[in-house]
Structure 1
Amino acid sequence: MSAKKIILLIFLSVFSVNALSQQPFPFEEQYKLARYLTGKFPDSSDIVLNSIIEAAQKDDKPEYLAKAYYLKSFNSYVKSDAENTIRYAGIVFDISEKNHYAVGKALAYRMYGTQYAKLGLLEQSEENLSKGIKEVEHLDTDEGHELRGMIYNSYLIFLNEKEYKKKLYYSRKSISEYLGIQNQTRRNELLISAYTNMGYNLSEINQFRESMQYLKKALALVGNDNNYLKCCILHDIGFSFSKNKQPDSAVHYYRKALYMADAFGFTEKKIEITGNLEQAYVAKAEPDSAKTYKIQHLLLKDSASYNKSITVGKVLAGEKKEYSRKLNQSQLLSGALIAACTILIFVLGAIGIRIKQLNEKNRKITAEIYQKGIVQAPYEEDSKDPDEDGKDTEQMTTPIKISPEVEENIVRGLQAFEENLEFNNRNVAKYYLANKLNVNTKYLSAVIKKHKNANFNQYINALRIGYIVEQLKNDPQYRKYKINHLAEISGYSSHSAFSHEFKKIVGIHPSAFIKSLTRVS
């Protein structure tokens, strides 16, 4: 066992003892440790992550719970365990969705997108990566820059060699995001993969010098203990030499990368390295070595393809199940909407019929008034207007004797009152009119009852409403006035009082009368 592994085991033992103590669990420190171990010793990282998960569940720390499962998903991805990669990403998403944790959802989308790209589900991959960016697009923190950079890196997986412009675009976007991180240590850790990707992409388009500059930057930052990234950089340097027609140098770096991939179980990377080693030995004209790595490559690829086919089947089955669930839900909703729409159609139909009936009724009333005028309402006793002696004039049973001359004077006075439109005066009252005609209110009420077949209030209201009706019939300009203006013209103190009397006398609301009048005039 190497010295590093012994030190690691000692550290993990100490950590386990501390975890059993009564001290608060150091979530941030342990998460950083697990993240550090992820690219070097994935199995050791999982040990730390299990402790974080247990403590996070106990102390109700959903953010650390989500991030711990994210690293377990990434560890599974590094070990080419597609099924667990997706399973753990699903746990991350569920925790984050429940707790409204946008960062966690972005992490889940990133792992879904990365793994789906490896499985050849390119459409699902791009969809998930886009969702991940959207979750954190406005997060102006170190964490936001880190997540966007990682997701932009993941876009490179499903782009093919011909899409080099897009690859360079996303590589530069990733580097730009990482350079925005304030924490220098974390910034340098992330720039390693970004520089590596940029170097590889430049190799693909034969820009050897620029490619090596980025790869050397990555190698300088990676150190000696980040095994996975160092393995990737060594492989990409070999690839750059291969594209530059230097197969000897290419084989040298490929073999160093393969040694690390073998030692730490980076199966996915071994497939890529053995395939490139075969091509490098072909370029060196060493067919036996080329055949050896071809066999290794095919065996690894067949094993990975089998696991991949199983996982793809499960993913598609899961999507089919989810689609069926949503379809059933949609059908139930559609049924409810159809029922609601049917009821609404019946209700609207009934309303429409009722509106049509009312419009026809209003039209008939308006047409009759337009041709014949307002029908005189029957006389009503008026108990609201006592005479000057405090007795109800209208309800007196003893007949009032009025001389013919006085009666004729009152009739002539009423005629002048009507011709001068004095009934539209807001302050008109029985006492006012009696005083104007120089008679008492008893005589005035008696004459109005005899000649107008109405009490005083009925008489005034009939005159006012009749005047407005005539104006509406004969002058279209009046039909443009608002109801409160018509009320003011006819002496009413309010819109409601006018509307009440209009409907009482005419039979319909003034606005309905005006609307119908345009159809019959």
Structure 2
Amino acid sequence: MKKIYLFFVFCLFFSTVSAETISCPGNKQIDQLIDKGTALNNEGGNKEALKLFQKANDLAKAIGCEKGELNATRSIMMFYFNTYDYKKALEISNRARELAMSQKDYETLSSLCSRRGASYDELGLYDESLKEHEAAAEYMKLIAEPDKRHYQASLVYYNMTPYYQDRSNEKVLYYLKKSREEVLKINNNSKDIPLEKKIDMLVSINMNLGIHYRDRNNKGRNVKLSEFHFMEALKQFDLVKGDVLPNTKIDLYQALQEFYQMKKDYKKAIEYGENMLILEKSNSMPYNRRVGYMVLAKSYLGIGDHATSQKYLDLFSKLNDSINSAEKDAVEAPVKKIISETKSNGEKKIKGIAVISFVIIALIISGMLIYRRRNHKIIHKKYEELIAKIQHENENSKVKPEAEKNNESNGVKSSITITDETLKMLLFKLEKFEASKKYLRQDLSLTWMANSLSTNTKYLSEVIKNNKNHNFTSYINELRINYIIRMLYENPVYREYKIASLAEECGYATPRVFVNAFKQQTGVTPSYFVEQLKVAVNV
């Protein structure tokens, strides 16, 4: 999902596919095919699952069983949704909606509209997305059984939160709370909604409330409330004799792992990360495993265990390469199929187009290569200057004569408005500030810093301008970028971090601001700097 932070929206839609009663009396095969297909799909057997859903659909049509056809059709729709073919999912959902309307199955209609809303959102059709979510809420109100209605209402509100993500933090919070209110209305002894299903929903809602309050980009960020909701999610596990969905527990452990790593409580981060990996072994969730490896690498580094940190970093790199390769194959497979089919229909035409395209592309590429070579020389020169500067600073920092230190103190620029004594005291405090690395705080501001140094913003700005040759923003940027450059140069682990993680590490709220500040100060992008460091190590 293209979101600021990850919502663990689980697909309960699939859990309702198998009818509680036989879809088609006299023919259990349809339900058996759907159940088997659902199980295969959960295990990653996508192609086999789709064949079984289609077989069930054909069989239901042949015997004129609309309920069986509806169950099979929405299973096919969910298959395409989960494989990111949102246009196909919407196309299939039209037939499912017709069947649900004819049967007055408002629960299914509500779920279908929620999923259609999510599909439109992924396609960037936001007006259509909102209409579908609103329709889901209207159909939900028509469900006769109270517990089913409350559960569906909770699910509808829950699925509306990703729509408002990046648009309104207030509405995200509003709908998560509404979702929680509805699920709490369900009777624990309900004959319609098993307790495990209710608890699973509660765990997911509390988990996402924890993520919401943890988010650095949320103006209402509250770490204490974040931890409270994470603990509430953990408590829910004790309320059921059976178990909630393994995926939900894995997601929660990963959220807790990231939360405690953010708090620098590395021991707890390691505990939840290791527990998550144990559960993941029997459930195969490679994306969770990938995040788990990276957070564990950071956490072990945080407690000074460099060997274990490197072990998890190596595991992360291997898995990341494997996932990227699999995703590439998944994208290339349909493309190759299209090319193959097109060749059989008109190979000569394709060759002619290919030749023309090749000539045009070759001309474009040759022009780009000339430009890139020139540009690369300029950028690489800046990189070399940056490395030389770091090495020079390292040499000077080993032995710094007392005379030089005295010269530095004597180089203080006097001020008309600030007394010499106050000026020297402020410069001393600035040195302490730089040594403490408080410039890495994301909430750092001129006012906060002035209060921290027991002065006012006017004096602080003047001292920074006259003695650091910067305004406040460029001064902080220089400190932050110099810090992350040194960490990248000295610690290979940092070279494996994503740009977003590097930005967070040195105090930037967004990767974009970090990249701009890095390039403005160094003349190169952080990605280029990291690539060149890796090349230098391998040479």
Q: TM-score, normalised by structure 2?
A: 0.42
Q: TM-score, normalised by structure 1?
A: 0.44
Which structure has the larger Rg over C-alpha atoms? 1
